[in-house]
Structure 1
Amino acid sequence: MGDKGDFSVKVSKREVVAAVLPTQEHWLPLSNLDLLLPPLDVGVFFFYKKQTLGHKSFTFESMASILKKSMAETLVSYYAFAGEVLQNTMGEPELLCNNRGVDFIEAIADVELRDLNLSNPDACVEGKLVPKKKSGALSVQVTKLRCGGLVMGCTFDHRVADAYSANMFLVSWAEIAQSKPVTCVPSFRRSLLNPRHPGCFDKSADDFFMPVSALPLPNDESQSSASEDGLISRIYYVEADQLNRLQSLASSGKCRRTTKLEAFTAFLWKVVVPACSTSNKTCRMGIVVDGRARLEDDRNLMASYFGNVLSIPFSEKSFKELKESQLSSIADAVQEVLESAVKKEHFLGLIDWVEAHRPEPAMARIYGSRGQEEGTSLVVSSGQRFPVEKMNFGWGGPAFGSYHFPWGGEAGYIMPMPSPIGNGDWIVYMHMFKGQLELIETRAGHVFKPVTKEYLKL
């Protein structure tokens, strides 16, 4: 696929889609776990081929109409996405549920789906097919392609929802579009994440999270080097056979059988280390952990909870140690990272830790800038619940879909998701330094393969 990023996108219509039923305006506090998120926006996109189902042909206008009508119905339950985040009297963000609505953009792109370089979202997606959110909690853009295909891009405020919550919304939206029963009604019961009185937290909370005031001051030299080797986004696929092979290699350590995600994370941790390095620089590896299952009780209330329920524990190893270690040994370290956050007490303690520091903003320590001269940081977030196979609004499922999160910090971000091919392969979104991605393509090109039109059968 050529580096097709030189196409134009023309906006044809802008409107605001509000919930079809009015709601009583009210303030919804962000939970303590929401407050750990800075004002970041997360994108997601889906590409659809031109579809004709039976005798029914879908035009761009009819598809856009279906999306708007079904979203207006979905927002009745998911009213948080129709609101906006404002600052309260304490100086903290709070969600005003006022049915402001969702900015909905219709656009036309002068390019065919098969000509897009989907492995390079910086060229074909960023600023073109996924909207820049200007206000509100959610923005949507649908774009007509020259071939008759359609792209749906969404951008949501991470302080309002994590990927689990966004996936709930997307699936409900698709179900309503097809007049199917909604499988999950969201819960906004913030009391599920109330701090304890008196609060209690382990000192490990200070290891993984920090007040924003503790951020190191920017270093001119590190900023200069970062600008020369900036973070970029790429999308690869990893074949199921390679995942099985990595899992087998990583499972010979002292711990229990390694999962595919643990093996993948261990391999990535090892492969980003320069082959010739004997440096004492370090690489931090963080893993996003969803706390819903850890906080679950007999009433099963957390399964439908809408908001952020995340922790990012991490471990730090020197380049030299990573270079000399076997994959199984690194996989053991990955399991130890996860074990630090699998217990209910970890999340209850994190909620109490945030309460003890309010109203000062706090954040995950791994996102704190250190500068490349000290080492590097990577965060892996499992996207295995990414509902690509369920994103059928009536005209067939998408040919391709991915999250898009060029968040702007100095920590790399990696999210593996199921492939739309449905054969056990993974689609892997990576936002990392250019040099790291070049290293991955050189040392592990047999594992990380750029997404192509041939792979997606476009």
Structure 2
Amino acid sequence: MVIATMFDHRVADGYSANMFVSSWADITRSQPPSFLPSFRRSVLNARRPTIYTPSTANMFISLSKLPLIQVDQKNEPNLDQDSLRSRIYYIKGDQLKKLQLLASENGCQRSKLESFTSFLWKITAKYMEDSGYLDHVCNIAVAVDGRRRLSEGEGVEKEDLMAAHFGNVLSIPFGRIHSKDLKDMPLTSVAKEVNKLLKTAANKDHFLDLIDWVEDQRPKPLMSRPFAGTEKAVSIMVSSGQRFSIMDKMDFGWGKLVFGSCYAPAARRDYYVMTMSSPVKTDDWIVYMHLPKKHLNYMETHASHLFKPLTTDYLKLYD
């Protein structure tokens, strides 16, 4: 039995989608919903007057300001935009720990997400250079949830209200490095860059600034700057689903969910990666990727120790 639902990011983020599906599962078992959603818009009211830094204003771009890019088809390499594929892998816990060790230095331990993102960023640069896509920028963007940050120092009532907020409470900090420079950087240096970009968004002031900036742009539609196609670049969005209850609590009445994942529609043209907890082994990760076929094949060849194709054997699904 497969159950699927589709949501639009203009309406809700992954956190909210998880709230909906989890509560749906509860209702099918005649249980009270796990989450009672809050639609109180006032929790995201802008300050008066609005205040924000130039770096916050640089994170997104209005669609009306997108320039028309003239591409020379004869000299421009094909980035295989039409060959996007969705594949799912698992990463063993011991490999994640080794990756953490390689990304950490001088007693400063990087998180698993920072370490994985650093490795993905670096191997993408190697793929670009080895495949002849020279003089391109490699952008990495990481989705950061602002619910907990916005409730910092506001008391339990505000924490509960933000935890129940249904909608979008995301920031998307990003980093950009030319592939020729990135491919030769030590993993520890790449991890330092990832840590730096995450730090810019992992605080309350950043989200207050972002709310103010978005308010000043309304009602113009916006998009994350690295995905605007304003330069020769490859851009990947990394999202973490470790906190979602997709694979450890959800039950539609037939027992624990065997497997759960996100899935990007075939028409989606951006590159997307999501990490999730494994339903089989606590320390393992499940990783969903929506990338060009050649890009995926390159990673499977050059990082086969890390990316293991998800199989029924791993999930212990037997006839």
Q: TM-score, normalised by structure 1?
A: 0.63
Residue 89 (structure 2) aligns with: 236
Q: Percent identity?
A: 48
| Bigger fraction of residues in strand | 1
Pick the aligned partner of 2:233 from 347, 351, 375: 375
Residue 183 of structure 1: how far off its partner (Å): 3.3
* 381-390 or 408-417, which deviates more: 408-417
* 1:140-162 CA-partner distances (Å, limit 9, x unpaired): xxxxxxxxxx1111111222211
- Cα contact 2:102–2:188 (8 A) shared by 1: yes
Pick the aligned partner of 1:249 from 94, 97, 102: 102
**Partner SS state of residue 31, structure 2:** coil
Distance 1:344 1:204, change over 3 A: same
Residue 23 (structure 2) aligns with: 172
Work out the number of aligned pairs and report it: 306
Q: Does 1:438 align with 2:293?
A: no
Distance 1:210 1:228, change over 3 A: closer
Runs ≥4 residues deviating over 6 A: none
Q: Partner letter of residue 240 of structure 2?
A: S
1:24-423 mapped onto 2 (5 Å cutoff): 150-221=1-72, 225-226=78-79, 230-252=83-105, 256-274=108-126, 277=130, 279-296=134-151, 297-298=154-155, 299=157, 300=159, 301-370=161-230, 374-387=232-245, 388-406=247-265, 408=267, 410-423=269-282
Q: Distance in 1 between matches of 2:313 and 2:192?
A: 37
- Cα contact 1:340–1:346 (8 A) shared by 2: yes
Q: TM-score, normalised by structure 2?
A: 0.89
Q: Distance in 2 between matches of 1:367 and 1:410?
A: 10
* 288-297 or 206-215, which deviates more: 206-215
Q: Distance in 2 between matches of 1:441 and 1:229?
A: 20
Higher gyration radius (CA) = 1
**Partner SS state of residue 156, structure 1:** coil
* 1:105-153 CA-partner distances (Å, limit 9, x unpaired): xxxxxxxxxxxxxxxxxxxxxxxxxxxxxxxxxxxxxxxxxxxxx1111
Q: Partner letter of residue 293 of structure 1?
A: R
**Partner SS state of residue 125, structure 2:** coil
* 233-242 or 277-286, which deviates more: 277-286
* 1:270-324 CA-partner distances (Å, limit 9, x unpaired): 1112365594422011100000111012122211111100010101111122211
Residue 408 of structure 1: how far off its partner (Å): 4.4
| Bigger fraction of residues in helix | 2
- Cα contact 1:251–1:258 (8 A) shared by 2: yes
Q: Distance in 1 between matches of 2:88 and 2:70?
A: 30
- Cα contact 1:287–1:313 (8 A) shared by 2: yes
Q: Distance in 2 between matches of 1:446 and 1:289?
A: 28
* 1:221-265 CA-partner distances (Å, limit 9, x unpaired): 5698245753221111111111111111111158x3211111010
Q: Distance in 1 between matches of 2:124 and 2:165?
A: 36
Q: Partner letter of residue 214 of structure 2?
A: V
C-alpha RMSD of matched pairs (Å): 2.2
Q: Distance in 1 between matches of 2:99 and 2:204?
A: 30
Q: Partner letter of residue 101 of structure 2?
A: S
Q: Distance in 1 between matches of 2:106 and 2:263?
A: 34
Residue 180 of structure 1: how far off its partner (Å): 3.2
Distance 1:151 1:265, change over 3 A: same
Distance 1:341 1:289, change over 3 A: same
Q: Partner letter of residue 344 of structure 1?
A: K
Residue 51 (structure 1) aligns with: none
Q: Distance in 2 between matches of 1:443 and 1:266?
A: 15
**Partner SS state of residue 158, structure 1:** coil
Q: Partner letter of residue 415 of structure 1?
A: M
- Cα contact 1:232–1:434 (8 A) shared by 2: yes
Distance 1:308 1:444, change over 3 A: same
- Cα contact 1:171–1:391 (8 A) shared by 2: yes
Q: Distance in 2 between matches of 1:159 and 1:346?
A: 21
**Partner SS state of residue 6, structure 2:** strand
Residue 428 (structure 1) aligns with: 287
* 1:381-403 CA-partner distances (Å, limit 9, x unpaired): 00112321222122112222100
**Partner SS state of residue 234, structure 1:** strand
Higher relative contact order (CA 8 A, sep 6+): 2
Distance 1:228 1:392, change over 3 A: closer
Q: Distance in 2 between matches of 1:407 and 1:359?
A: 28
- Cα contact 2:236–2:273 (8 A) shared by 1: yes
